[in-house]
Amino acid sequence: MRQLLRSPATRRRRTAALGTLSAALLCVVATAAPASAARTPAAPATGKAADGLAATPPMGFNNWNSTHCGLGFNEKMVKEIADLFIDKGLKDAGYTYVNLDDCWAMPTRDPKGQLVPDPVRFPHGIKAVADYVHAKGLKFGIYTSAGTRTCSDIGFPGALGHEESDARQFADWGVDYLKYDNCNNQGVDARQRYTAMRDALRATGRPITYSICEWGENKPWEWAAGLGQSWRTTGDISDSWSSMLDILKKNLPLAPYAGPGHWNDPDMLEVGNGGMTDTEYRSHFTLWAMMAAPLLIGTDLRTASPQTYDILRNEDVIALDQDPLGRQATVLDSADGRWTLVKKLAGGDRAVALFNESDGEQRITTSATAAGLPEAPGYRLRDLWQHTERHTGGEITVTVPAHAAVVYRVTPEKGA
């Protein structure tokens, strides 16, 4: 009987040929350095994806963080997630994509070299599932790897050397989003592999958002803006406070590379998966929104708590992520675990996030002018979690509980 169940740790090994680092090692290397040691960009990317896709960061769902390759990942689940996008107001909040991750295919191609959906998981095939998702007014995504096999222990067929035929098959199925992983890449140059799939996707004539999941190994932020709409900057996230923090600290210095049509991707959301508190999940969601990250829900929405839905549907915070200016937040200060992040918004406002990394409450202070706003008679502060407003002459000070984030939308007030 073929293997169907694997642990998260197994998947994260990301075994690749010719000495490619395993994901377990990758995640340690990619996340161990403190903020002061985070890599510094050499120069911002100047290009945009020519397809006109992802003018704001993609929002949606991916099953991996909650199911991995378990038997619960199947056609029934995907359809139920699409239903919940409508029933729970997620579509109205901006979530669009319902995406499959690894393990949707059979381990071998058919005699014509075509990919074959797993008939147990997807008895009606992939196109039928895509059609169901599209009928809800949503978009559908799929996964493969820029190698000979995907990342699971079974190793399903990868697209290396099959880019054109696989892209045509995806387009024929109605795929709107491709997550393209990095396993079993045979040592072929990353830019060459990801360019080949970019070209194949374009040749189909179907607009397909292209997510480059290269784990940051070859600094894709320096070359991928003309290829895809997002690129992973680190190894896989896990459902823990330390993992979230480590990825945050790696992704923050890359702000100059993000913008409409080309986004830094610090990996999917863990909100609701149980490894962090609701306070920590609010911080996680706030920080990803401040970084203009793709917001891909990673929890099983069928069992999600009301608190999880409240976090995921916070339209004030989502508006920061989806702001049309497309700026990623920059760091004003991070001394002693007291973080001040600032994000410039369309229309002239600033988002200011005051985040407490430490294990005890801390008082964090900044000012409207330090956040880049002009001198004004006063400023309106809208608390995006409490949904309250207050006024200030310029100082922004708040006592932030341990592991919490307070985020304001700051608007200058006009004089009399």
Residues 389-395, mean pLDDT to the nearest whole number:
98
Query: Which one of the listed residues 181, 321, 323, 349 is annotated catalytic?
Result: 181
Q: What is the pLDDT of residue 350?
A: 99
**257 and 354, same domain (yes or no):** no
Catalytic residue among 236, 246, 265, 321, which? 236
Whole domain around residue 379: which residue ranges? Answer: 330-413
Contact 266, 293 (CB under 8 A): yes
With a cut of 70, say whether residue 339 has pLDDT above it.
yes
**Closest Cα partner for 69 from 100, 98, 102, 99?**
102
**Whether 56 contacts 324, CB under 8 Å:** yes
pLDDT at 5: 33
CA 183 to each of CA 148, 163, 191, 416: distance values in angstroms, whole numbers, following the listed order: 8, 15, 14, 61
234 in the same domain as 309: yes
236 is catalytic: yes
Q: Do 270 and 401 reside in the same domain of the chain?
A: no
Picking from 106, 206, 112, 187, the residue whose alpha carbon sits closest to that of residue 146 is: 187
Residue 3 inside a domain? The answer is: no
Instruction: Please give the average per-residue pLDDT across 43-61, as a whole number.
Output: 74
Does residue 34 carry a pLDDT above 60?
A: no
Local confidence band at 415 (pLDDT 50, 70, 90 cut-offs): confident
Whether 316 and 397 map to the same domain: the answer is: no
Q: Structural domain tally of the chain?
A: 2
99 pLDDT above the threshold of 60: yes
Instruction: Give strand ranges (E) for 328-373.
Output: 330-333, 338-344, 350-356, 362-367
Strands 263-265 and 230-232: parallel
What is the average per-residue pLDDT within 321-338? 99
> What's residue 371's pLDDT?
99
Cβ atoms < 10 Å from Cβ of 335: 8
Q: 């006592």: which residue's tokens?
A: 399
Q: Which amino acid is at 44?
A: P
Q: Which of 266, 295, 321 is the last residue of a domain?
A: 321
pLDDT score of 43? 45
Answer yes or no: do 234 and 379 share one domain. Answer: no
What pLDDT, on a 0 to 100 scale, did the predictor assign at position 4? 33
Residue 143 has pLDDT above 80, yes or no: yes
- Whether the pLDDT of residue 31 is over 70: the answer is no
CATH of the domain at 389: 2.60.40.1180
Q: Which residue has the higher pLDDT, 189 or 20?
A: 189
Q: What percent of the chain has pLDDT over 90?
A: 87
Pair type for strands 362-367 and 395-400: antiparallel
Higher-pLDDT residue of 33 and 392 is: 392
Same domain, 366 and 276: no
Distance CA 231, CA 223 (A): 10
In a domain? residue 200: yes
Residues 6 or more apart from 1 whose CB is under 8 A from it?
none
Contact residues for 372 (Cβ-Cβ < 8 A; gap 6+): 342, 344, 350
Whether residues 344 and 311 fall in one domain: no
Q: Report how far apart, in Å, the C-alpha atoms of 220 and of each of 194, 238, 266, 327 are.
A: 10, 22, 13, 18
Instruction: Please check whether residues 317 and 388 belong to one and the same domain.
Output: no
Nearest to 218 by CA among 196, 198, 234, 230: 234
At 297, give phi and psi (nearest 5°): -60, 135
Domain boundary among 268, 303, 321: 321
Q: What is the mean pLDDT of residues 297-313?
A: 99
**What is the rounded average pLDDT for all residues in the chain?**
91
Q: What is the mean pLDDT of residues 366-370?
A: 99
Q: How many CB atoms lie within 10 A of CB 119?
A: 10
Q: Give yes or no for a contact between 338 and 362, defined as CB atoms under 8 angstroms apart.
A: yes
Distance of CA 374 to the CA centre of its chain: 32
In a domain, 97, yes or no: yes
pLDDT for res 82: 99
φ, ψ of residue 67 in degrees (nearest 5): -115, -25
Q: Residue 276 is encoded by which pair of tokens?
A: 């962090």
Does residue 166 sit in helix, strand or coil?
helix
What is the predicted pLDDT for the residue at 48?
53
Provide the pLDDT for residue 23: 34
Rounded to two decimals, the pTM is: 0.91
Distance separating alpha carbons of residues 116 and 105, to the nearest angstrom: 6
Read off the pLDDT of each residue in 357-361 and give the average, rounded to a whole number: 99
Look up 181 and say whether it is catalytic. Answer: yes
Concatenated DSSP letters for 210-272? EEE--TTTT-GGGTGGGT-SEEE-SS---SSHHHHHHHHHHHGGGGGG-BTTBEEE-----TT
Q: Kindly tell me the burial class for residue 110, based on how many C-beta atoms sit within 10 Å of its own C-beta (0-12, 13-18, 19 or more).
A: exposed
Confidence (pLDDT) at 52: 84
pLDDT tens, residue by residue, 181-234: 999 999 999 999 999 999 999 999 999 999 999 999 999 999 999 999 999 999
Q: Of 10-14, 209-213, 227-231, 331-335, where does mean pLDDT reach its minimum?
A: 10-14
Same domain (yes/no): 248, 350: no
Closest CA to 230 of 68, 35, 94, 51: 51
Residue with tokens 């001040």: 340
- Looking at the structure, tell me whether residues 88 and 150 fall in a common domain: yes
Same domain as 402, residue 280: no
Q: Which of 2-16, 271-285, 330-344, 371-385 has the lowest mean pLDDT?
A: 2-16
pLDDT at 346 over 90: yes
Q: To 10 degrees, the CA torsion angle through 67, 71, 75, 79?
A: -40
Going by C-alpha positions, the residue among 371, 361, 303 that lies closest to residue 337 is: 361
Residue 1 resides in a domain: no
